[in-house]
Homo-oligomer: A and B are copies of this chain.
């Protein structure tokens, strides 16, 4: 069934059918109703490819999850609490406002080609990129696409300082520095002076911010920063487990360990438990993100809630806003506050 069939059945031209579909005002109510009736009766839906080819939007936003560090042979985004939640949140917001979401994950250069293709082949009206990390090459290639793009968790300074095309580009972050600061102040307030960190990927904006805040907090309070208390977990569960295990086997434990995300904190907890180190009795533990499991552990994990839902909403809204304004170079940026969440995994240590 094509618009031509509808036109014939309703006794009008294809032009008129198109006008009622696209809500043109200059169609008499009587005609509109007649056409609408035929459309309904035949469950007619206009072919999207034809509409897009004729100049309409796709009503689809792309969502691209970049995770080049993981091993492609294993489960891909599957099992990564952080990414999975972004996918869900973006989908929810986009669907709620009537857009479809086109998803592709990126684990390899070929995968990245697929995201560029999604734009170049005009499959989407704009795209949200999660996890571009510190890949200026990737970001500049995306910016050249000239399509509405939202980067989630990306260093704004890097964009401002670059020769990047900032036209129709937006960045959505959360306040990782402040969030981490809250954890550190909490720990220090509880009397901890030997605080370690299980750091995330430092080629990631959030990874760097969380690390910086850790350093700053120690420095601010005149606390020592010990090399052996700095573990590189790279936001990966296995890596974090190995690092925590290494710490567990060493002769000296910090009294508290801040983990740059919950997945790593949970891995650390498992490693500690396996080595007979109790949380929080022997070591206090804090995470970041507030994944669903965080509240289920015993003790509950003290952490920071990452405002994923709000960030996803901002990203989706940003895309449609940028899509509206064809002209001018808009460069939006938002940063959402994160909420410190105190549970039982950190204890007070007396003097």
Contacts and interface: CB of A to CB of B under 8 A. Distances in A.
B77 A88 contact: yes
A101 B114 CA distance: 12
Nearest to A312: B78
A298 interface: yes
A52 interface: yes
A238 interface: no
Contacts of A122: 47-49
Interface in A83-142: 84-85, 87-89, 91-92, 95-96, 98, 100-105, 111, 114, 116-118, 120-123
Contact of A95 (B43, B84, B104, B293): B104
A157 interface: no
A48 B102 CA distance: 14
A60 B104 CA distance: 10
A199 B350 CA distance: 48
Contacts of A118: 100
Contacts of A95: 76, 103-105, 111, 114
A55 to B, nearest CB: 10
Contacts of A87: 84, 87-88, 91
Contact of A53 (B49, B84, B89): B49
B114 A91 contact: no
A293 B87 CA distance: 19
Contact of A104 (B46, B101, B117, B123): B101
Contacts of A47: 53, 121-122
Given A76-B92, A76-B95, A81-B292, A48 B100 contact: no
Contacts of A78: 85, 88-89, 92, 309
A117 B91 CA distance: 17
A81 to B, nearest CB: 7
Nearest to A1: B120
Nearest to A145: B43
B102 A101 contact: yes
Contact of A84 (B88, B114, B270): B88
Nearest to A62: B100
A40 B132 CA distance: 24
A294 to B, nearest CB: 10
Contacts of A104: 91, 95, 100-101
A45 B92 contact: no
Given A43-B120, A102-B60, A76 B49 contact: no
15 contacts: A46-B121, A47-B121, A47-B122, A49-B53, A49-B122, A75-B92, A76-B91, A77-B91, A78-B309, A84-B84, A84-B85, A87-B91, A102-B102, A270-B296, A298-B298
Given A75-B309, A76-B95, A100-B103, 6 more contacts: A76-B88, A78-B85, A78-B309, A87-B88, A91-B104, A103-B103
